[in-house]
Amino acid sequence: MGRQAAEAQDYEAIAPGSDQLARRVLAMVDSPVAWLGKRVRIHRLETDGDAEWGEVMDRLAATSGLQMDFEEAGSVILQWEKTEDLSISFGAGARPAEQAKNEAPF
């Protein structure tokens, strides 16, 4: 399954307003720098609504092996230990982040 098809399946169950935020978070988590350091800081933008932010944070909190540290400025730091077990899902099908990292972007 290509990356776009996997992403489309992952976003089916997420609220429409959360789609852009979920895509931004997954792009940040999938970045090579994040995988090397096993951490990423997600900044909350002024355009991120309370409901959308809460929904995405709830989905992240339900992810096994992912530690979340909330900062006073409104951002959150995500950290993980084992990359082979990390799977972040924003919809019906889970997408292993390591698998997504290795797939072609087209």
* Residue that wins the pLDDT comparison between 101 and 26: 26
* 11 contacts 91 by C-beta, under 8 angstroms: yes
Rounded Cα distance, 45 and 58, in Å: 17
Total number of domains in the chain: 1
pTM score, two decimals?
Answer: 0.64
DSSP class of residue 93 equals S
By residue range, what is the domain housing residue 65? Answer: 3-102
Q: Tell me the percentage of the chain whose pLDDT exceeds 70.
A: 60
* Residue that wins the pLDDT comparison between 47 and 106: 47
**In one letter, which amino acid is 14?**
I
Reading the block at residue 67, the tokens are 């530690």
Rounded Cα distance, 100 and 4, in Å: 10
* 98 contacts 86 by C-beta, under 8 angstroms: yes
